[in-house]
Amino acid sequence: MSKSGGPIQLKLWGPARLEYQGRELKLQRKGLAILYYLALEGATRREVLADLLWGHSAASQNLRVELHRLGQALAPLGYTLFKAGEDPLQLPPFITLDRTPAPGAPMEGLEEISVEFRAWLEGQRSQLMANSSGMVGRERLVQEVASQIVLPSVLILTGRPGSGRTAFAQALAKALGMPFLEGPRGGGKALHYLRPPYADVSIERILTDRDGLWVVERSSYGEDPRLILELRSHYPAERTRYITLPPLSWAEARASVLANLPFAQAARLFLASGGSPGHLRELLAVPHNGSEMPLPQRVRAQVQLESRMLSLEARLALERLSVHPGPYSQGLLDALEATPYLDELERRGWLIYAGQWQFSDDASRRVLYLGLQPGRRQQYHRQAALQCAMEEQRMAEAYHRLMAGDTADWGTFVNTLPGWTRYGLKAWLGMHETLPMAPSLSEVAKGSELVLLEEARFGQGFEVDGRHVRWMRTPSQSTASGIIWAAHDEASLLHLKGNAYVENPLGVGISGRAAPLVLEIQEPREARAIFLPGIQAGALADNALLLPLQEELDVWFRVPAGASIRLTSSAESGLIDLEVTSYRVAPPLLAQSAPKVEVFEFFRSAVEAARKN
């Protein structure tokens, strides 16, 4: 169970509510909806929230009124929720999302706010319940949906190409004990599965059915087709469910389609597919060697078919944007001639805005990029490189020039970089440089296990399961994610054991700040260990250890008494799966018989003091 990460908490599971020091704050339901949306989606423009919650001509005015009410509710506690004119809106740090499991579904009581919000809410519930503990992923989601459906009913099933929507519907039919029928044929108690373009079904057929379940397949890309709009207008809302089928989790993929592969190969395929089961199966069926990931023709055709629903100009803009794996500055949007088409690309689900514009799904971006002709790819990289140079984004410029096939004076460039970034890029280039100091190592007797108490977790692409911590990092995650554990009153030993696979461009990412794994301690003084692929172990002068990030990680650290522990990843693309445990340092009387481990010391003085004794 996580401890409070802030004085005011949104409770994720069970009835939707905001609590201050354990006491519920009375809020309007739409005010709660705004807070939950910001907590789960991040920074959001006002117009998006207004359309989601009201969707009519007075939506912006209604949003201003609701934000004023929220501010009034928190003002007596001494908190200012949003700054005047703030846009996009962002949840302040004093409000945290409490993910502690509890009976019931996530965010109960917010179902009737609006049709659009309910669709979003059902999608979030689908993902949260599929990824929560219990039965594996989709099996649990199937059982949850089956237990709640009352016939007759309509289920809008949304997903990306290869997300396994048909297989999910077939599993649902089996769980409900009813036949699975393609299209509107047949009658009675049956699951009717409808695919686009829904040419052979009428709205009257669904409205007059009294026994069946109608599952309507919808793509995550594009706008609602006519059939779904008619269902939203005429079919009872209380008998309509919206499910966004989430990708497979890493644990789910590892237990099924990726079960027999080495970690690095499995992780590489998982990142390339985004967890899409159909994409994974296609990748596994295509033989490949070397570093170039193949592009299965079926996957390419599926994504291209979806993109053909865009205007030609918007589709070409999307292809140009695919050369840059990460968020886009306004200058880069202009340089790649995408700015005029942002509204269409957002409306049809290809781009999202979270402080900066970015792809909604990096796996689809990869497919579009790999489908580019070499000449166009080179041209777009050069356009991006020129803009990055103008913005003095030197690492991004170097990446795009490299991908365009242009020559660069890496030696001069690397030596202008600060701190660990220089060593990380040099290791990636094979230009190894000896660190100023050797790491401090000592042999310590291991005592009994200590419990690690979680204080907070933060960021996207991160999950905790008991002792296990996992990161699934993609280029859209531009901030660090990880966990903070509470300090022990005594010196302790920390053990990190597991696997890591990282695909950072240039080793340190386009940002130059994408450290794959960082261990930090705060007391009695700050220190950190930064893991980077390919480097040799050493230390910088600022209490920073630089350690190699190996595929199989097995390292120990001595943590001073009173030091809280922060473990984070800023990788731009990677998958890290670790077991983290903590132990006492064996007391002197037991040290001779206790097992010994070799540990990294954060402070050289600790080693020197040990030697003097």
User: How many angstroms separate the most distant Cα atoms in the chain?
Assistant: 87
pLDDT bucket at 384, cuts 50 / 70 / 90: very high
The string of pLDDT tens digits covering residues 198-248 is: 988 889 999 999 999 999 999 999 888 999 999 988 999 888 988 888 888
Is residue 278 a contact partner of residue 163, using CB atoms and an 8 Å limit?
yes
pLDDT bucket at 458, cuts 50 / 70 / 90: confident
Quick one: 175 exposed, middle or buried, by C-beta within 10 A (0-12, 13-18, 19+)? Answer: middle
| Contacts of residue 390, Cβ cutoff 8 Å, sequence gap at least 6 | 331
**Can you tell me the mean pLDDT for 489-506?**
94
Nearest to 26 by CA among 77, 63, 64: 77
Our measurement of the distance from residue 256's CA atom to the centroid of its chain's CA atoms, rounded to an integer in Å, reads: 21
Q: Output the average pLDDT for the chain.
A: 88
**DSSP code at position 109:** T
Q: What is the pLDDT of residue 578?
A: 96
| Six token digits for residue 318 | 């999307």
The string of pLDDT tens digits covering residues 103-152 is: 777 898 898 888 888 888 887 887 776 655 444 567 878 888 898 889 99
Q: Tokens 């003084």 map to which residue?
A: 525
Rounded to an integer, what distance in angstroms lies between the CA atom of residue 394 and that of residue 513? 12
**Can you tell me the mean pLDDT for 253-271?**
90
| Three-state secondary-structure class, residue 512 | coil
Domains of the chain are 1-108 (1.10.10.10), 440-612 (2.60.120)
pLDDT winner (highest mean) among 311-325, 439-453, 478-492 = 311-325
Given a cut of 90, whether residue 320 has pLDDT beyond it is yes
**Can you tell me the mean pLDDT for 94-107?**
80
Quick one: 35 exposed, middle or buried, by C-beta within 10 A (0-12, 13-18, 19+)? Answer: buried
The string of pLDDT tens digits covering residues 143-193 is: 888 988 899 999 999 998 888 899 999 999 999 999 999 988 888 899 999
The string of pLDDT tens digits covering residues 510-545 is: 999 999 999 999 876 789 999 999 999 999 876 889
The string of pLDDT tens digits covering residues 272-285 is: 999 898 899 889 88
| Contacts of residue 199, Cβ cutoff 8 Å, sequence gap at least 6 | none
Q: What is the pLDDT of residue 136?
A: 54
Residues 456-465: contacts with CB under 8 Å, at least 24 apart: 456/2, 456/3, 456/5, 456/96, 456/483, 456/484, 457/2, 457/5, 457/99, 457/482, 457/483, 457/484, 458/5, 458/482, 458/483, 458/484, 459/568, 460/42, 462/569, 463/131, 463/249, 465/133, 465/251
Query: Can you give the three-state secondary structure of 403-458, one letter per residue?
Result: HCCCCCCHHHHHCCCCHHHHHHHHHHHCCCCCCCECCEEEEEEEEEEECCCEEEEE
**Can you tell me the mean pLDDT for 344-365?**
91
Q: What is the pLDDT of residue 130?
A: 60
